[in-house]
Structure 1
Amino acid sequence: MEESTQNQAQYKRQQSSSIFRGDVILWATGMVFIFALLAAMFGFGHVRQWDAQSGYTHNQSATSQTRFLPEPVEPEPGVAGRSDPSASGRWYYWQLPPEKVTAWSRIFVWLCYIGHQLTIWGTIYYAQRKKTSADFSGPKYSKQISVFNIVPFLLNIIFHVLHLAQTHITYDALAQDVSEASSQGSVIMMLVLVLLMEYRDRGLFFGWPTAQHKDKISRKLRFSQAPINLVRKYHGYAFSWAVIYTFWYHPMENTWGHAFGFIHTWMVMLQGSLMYTSLHRNRIWRLVLESWVTLHGLIVAKQTGGPDLNGTALWPMFCFGFLWLFTMTQLFGLTFWKKAPWWTKAIPFLCYLAVCVWCYSWIPDKNGNYFVRLQEIIRIPAIEYICVIFAWFVIDMFLRIKTKLTSTEERSASPSPFWETFCIGCFMLIYSLMVLVSFLLQEFDLTLDLIALMVILVFIFILGTGLSFMIIEPVMKKRSGKTQATEYSKSVGMANTTGDVSAEYPSDDQSDMTKKYAPTNDGNNAAFQSDH
């Protein structure tokens, strides 16, 4: 204990004596890189006269007619992916015609994707094993960077440059083989898990309900902490899958929709490279990561949605749907809201509603009627709120089943090498099956509306990632044979003999979290018990 205290004191002296923050330098370098890469993406595309903004400009483009098939606006019987009235919604425009696709063009991009995914997972695994080792005595989070920050950062740079090169060599990304709904669904799954992760500190609606709310209704409706803490600890694996899969789904085409999407996937990868740093927990940075989809969705929908006068413009639904989440939920992760009067929390949302009403007064439906489409603003938030409840329920169910089937001693014992290898294999199998489902949907061309297909996949991905957290959790036990949860339970005399999973995954109500969750001086960081 004395040695551990001395190590921590020495670490703090090193931190305070550092003139430059390593995490900030890494972040700034990463942002410079992505804008430089996008400049190259636009530059190379311009040189090759690529101007494929969307399927609606197919006939006006200088090169698109020789590069791509037109949008399947009219059904083409017998042609896979283009044979039914809903095909246009499911068809991904930026892919080679079948006659130009080769085995090499498919294999190359899959090798790139798999290599990127496995190496990043490896760095996350290494970092968590390092932090959970029995001989680790330093602080969990630091302003300086380590090898498990530099390595994934460099890997992500290498694979981004490789993707740009691959686009101009073989072009096709994963879109040729997997459903477009799976790319969108993986990102929505990530956003849903972010809502669950942040629930402890901001609730779901105007900062409610959190541990600060002590009334009976709040305590009765509030989610238990065990599933949330599990997601906070192992979210890196799911998030890296979501963004790497999406990143390799799209070619690096020189459109603004692609550019803003690549900015988003890069920022999430950069956030992963900043694991166990202070900047990783910065609330403003996290808010930007979570809400960037609003801007990206607006630009993509505006670019690809079709003429406004036909009532086919998609940008209002995406823009105002995500803004609903921003004004009702996401904003309240910022710490100043905790001290703000309760009535002020509704102001952003009321302003948002006023803007919505004004905009839909001039946004027509296909019959030229106004205000009719106002109801669509609830679709995206409704899907995400339902999915976050589903995610909590599924993970809570998994935890309760595990508690019923195993003893405290079994759950706290260090895994054998065989069992550890088996768990890692099962973990990778789950994500492989999720990709396989996406492939089969594309292969058999399930004729469902794109949004419906995406929602189905979101539920499947939530189930898969929740199960993957349960499988990887035993591998991350301290080499002393004790999990943090077990040590916590013993320290407060709460060994789990009642089947209550909260004893092993402690919630805010079970201990004095005032010090652990106290905001730091900048007001935008907070210390967390779990590995966020």
Structure 2
Amino acid sequence: MSQASTSAHKSIFNKRPYTTYLLTSFGFGLLVTILALWNSQNSWLDFFNSKPLKGEMGFGRFSIRGSRYVDGKYTPFAYPWRRIEPSQIGRTIAWLTYLVHQFAQWFILAKVQLSKKKQVRWSSDYQWWNWQMVYLNGLMALYKLVHGHIFYDGLAIDVAEGIAQGSVVLILIFAIIIAIPYRGVIFGYGKRPASDAIIHFVQKYHGYAMSFGTVLNFHYHPVEGTMGHLFGFVYQCLLIWQSTNFLHKSHRNKSWVLLLETWVFIHGTLTALIQPGIGWQIFSYGFMIIFLVNQIFQTKLSQSKMLMGIIYTIFFGWAYWGFRNDKAYYRATFIPISEYFCVYFALVVGKLTDYAVQRLPSLKIPIVMASALSATAALTVGLALTLAGNLKIYDDY
């Protein structure tokens, strides 16, 4: 790498890393949207088409399943953006490329963690592993556009939508655990030092589970042009940047991490609001409750009792308005209860794994791998069942 090139790289990631992350993420999301709607039959109106019918969308070239209705009733989690007759070649390529992306990320993470060299440390510069991630993820972003416009389908033809959503919420679970030292577990209580064995263990190995949630979702969706896909791909790109910049100082900036955590509220709310039904009550109120009982306690707002009182009053007023027609307030608790159950499950698994590693240090690698894989699978499936109610892939319409 030339001196000029190195200087340019340092200028970008030393002075404006977050600007780079945001601009490239929004840029990719907009590119996905423009390319998808350019030849759409209904032009740019499909941007707001959250429940396409059979024959709609699909870039005007592919026949997609569309939304599922039984006796006039809409079926949630029957993912509409799938081809009726998927290409077997495209399907195989999609899975092979996902596996390459997934295992390549894990390999880079493991290679760094197992390295004994002293230069493996936190830095304000992008180091060799960061650049490997940049090249890997950049290549996969380009692949996604090309593959999507040739074959359309992502992994959605073989993976239930609940699994995709569960893997995203999984990322938020580990984020809550990692932040325990400075914002506690609930209402600012339950803080533990970063040196705590369980928290340290989760901090050290959380990257593998978060990589799974990020990469799976990136390859799950087709590069469609709805508002939900736009903000979804922006979010996925932001998370991909977070997987790229590990051991770079931007990775643990609290404001940046809080943006990544709360973006799911923005994405979930905007996506649910353009759909009929009660889905928005689950996602909007659920993720807002998580913010108000946990994430807000790392901000200066939590230092003022008066401001917190005003914020909680506004939330209760908003909840009263949102449930004015059905009073089903319990829907707002689905996500908070699920997340906190998973948080404590992960803490228990972390404690047991740490205990096993201390007793059998020679088996550290297989123990950690088995623990990470089993916990990730259990949490993802559990969250999928909570959110979707089943793991079914609807191909009967």
**TM-score using structure 2 length:** 0.82
Asked whether the 8 Å contact 1:171–1:251 carries over to 2, the reply is: yes
Shift, 1:20, TM fit: 4.0
Partner of 2:82: 95
Corresponding residue to 1:145 among 116, 126, 130: 126
Partner of 2:103: 118
Q: What is the SS of the residue equivalent to 1:90?
A: coil
Tell me which amino acid in the other structure corresponds to 1:286: V
Partner of 2:268: 297
C-alpha offsets along residues 263-285 of structure 1, whole Å, 9 cap, x if unaligned?
Answer: 11211111121111111111100
Tell me which amino acid in the other structure corresponds to 1:186: S
Shift, 1:287, TM fit: 0.6
Q: How high is the sequence identity, in percent, across the aligned residues?
A: 24
Asked whether the 8 Å contact 1:55–1:93 carries over to 2, the reply is: no
Tell me which amino acid in the other structure corresponds to 1:232: Q
Tell me which amino acid in the other structure corresponds to 1:316: Q
Tell me which amino acid in the other structure corresponds to 2:80: Y
Shift, 1:291, TM fit: 1.1
Q: How many residues align?
A: 376
Asked whether the 8 Å contact 2:56–2:63 carries over to 1, the reply is: no
Task: Note the residue ranges of structure 2 that are not aligned, 5 or more in a row.
Answer: 1-8, 392-397
Pairing 1:281-296 to 2, within 5 Å after superposition: 281-296=252-267
Shift, 1:434, TM fit: 4.2
Shift, 1:190, TM fit: 1.4
Residues 354 and 26 (structure 1 numbering): CA distance in 2 closer, same or farther, change over 3 Å? Answer: closer
C-alpha offsets along residues 501-528 of structure 1, whole Å, 9 cap, x if unaligned?
Answer: xxxxxxxxxxxxxxxxxxxxxxxxxxxx
Radius of gyration: which is bigger?
A: 1
Residues 364 and 58 (structure 1 numbering): CA distance in 2 closer, same or farther, change over 3 Å? Answer: farther
Residues 346 and 147 (structure 1 numbering): CA distance in 2 closer, same or farther, change over 3 Å? Answer: farther
Partner of 2:313: 354
Asked whether the 8 Å contact 2:66–2:81 carries over to 1, the reply is: no
C-alpha offsets along residues 379-408 of structure 1, whole Å, 9 cap, x if unaligned?
Answer: 21121112111111122123334445x3xx
Tell me which amino acid in the other structure corresponds to 1:354: T
Pairing 1:504-523 to 2, within 5 Å after superposition: none
Corresponding residue to 2:388 among 451, 470, 483: 451
C-alpha offsets along residues 314-362 of structure 1, whole Å, 9 cap, x if unaligned?
Answer: 223311211111122112234x579x4xxx35843x4444233333444
Is 1:106 matched up with 2:87? Answer: no
Is 1:330 matched up with 2:295? Answer: yes
Shift, 1:250, TM fit: 0.7
Residues 428 and 357 (structure 1 numbering): CA distance in 2 closer, same or farther, change over 3 Å? Answer: closer
Is 1:39 matched up with 2:30? Answer: yes
The CA distance in 2 between the partners of 1:224 and 1:281, in whole Å, is: 16
C-alpha offsets along residues 159-187 of structure 1, whole Å, 9 cap, x if unaligned?
Answer: 01110111111001100001111101111
Is 1:71 matched up with 2:50? Answer: no
Corresponding residue to 1:174 among 151, 155, 158: 155
Partner of 1:381: 336
Partner of 2:354: 399
Asked whether the 8 Å contact 1:206–1:345 carries over to 2, the reply is: no
Residues 70 and 264 (structure 1 numbering): CA distance in 2 closer, same or farther, change over 3 Å? Answer: closer
Residues 188 and 242 (structure 1 numbering): CA distance in 2 closer, same or farther, change over 3 Å? Answer: same
**TM-score using structure 1 length:** 0.63
Is 1:22 matched up with 2:13? Answer: yes
Q: What is the SS of the residue equivalent to 2:143?
A: helix
The CA distance in 2 between the partners of 1:428 and 1:224, in whole Å, is: 21
The CA distance in 1 between the partners of 2:210 and 2:57, in whole Å, is: 38
Pairing 1:87-486 to 2, within 5 Å after superposition: 88-97=75-84, 100-130=85-115, 133=116, 135-136=117-118, 138=119, 140-211=121-192, 225-303=196-274, 305-306=275-276, 312-334=277-299, 336=300, 340=303, 344=304, 347-348=307-308, 350-363=309-322, 368-369=325-326, 372-404=327-359, 406=360, 411=361, 430=373, 434=377, 450-453=387-390
Partner of 2:6: none
Q: What is the SS of the residue equivalent to 2:225?
A: coil
Task: Note the residue ranges of structure 1 that are not aligned, 5 or more in a row.
Answer: 1-17, 77-84, 213-222, 307-311, 455-532
> RMSD across aligned C-alpha pairs, in angstroms?
3.6
C-alpha offsets along residues 244-295 of structure 1, whole Å, 9 cap, x if unaligned?
Answer: 0011111111111111111112111111211111111111001101111110
Tell me which amino acid in the other structure corresponds to 1:68: I
Tell me which amino acid in the other structure corresponds to 2:334: R
Shift, 1:148, TM fit: 0.9
The CA distance in 1 between the partners of 2:98 and 2:201, in whole Å, is: 27
Tell me which amino acid in the other structure corresponds to 1:92: Y
Tell me which amino acid in the other structure corresponds to 1:143: S
The CA distance in 2 between the partners of 1:337 and 1:121, in whole Å, is: 37
Residues 316 and 59 (structure 1 numbering): CA distance in 2 closer, same or farther, change over 3 Å? Answer: same
The CA distance in 2 between the partners of 1:111 and 1:56, in whole Å, is: 29
C-alpha offsets along residues 434-475 of structure 1, whole Å, 9 cap, x if unaligned?
Answer: 49x97xx9xxxx9x7853348xxxxxxxxxxxxxxxxxxxxx
Asked whether the 8 Å contact 1:298–1:319 carries over to 2, the reply is: yes
Residues 378 and 333 (structure 1 numbering): CA distance in 2 closer, same or farther, change over 3 Å? Answer: same
The CA distance in 2 between the partners of 1:385 and 1:423, in whole Å, is: 25
Tell me which amino acid in the other structure corresponds to 1:260: F
Shift, 1:35, TM fit: 2.3
Residues 65 and 302 (structure 1 numbering): CA distance in 2 closer, same or farther, change over 3 Å? Answer: farther
Tell me which amino acid in the other structure corresponds to 2:207: G
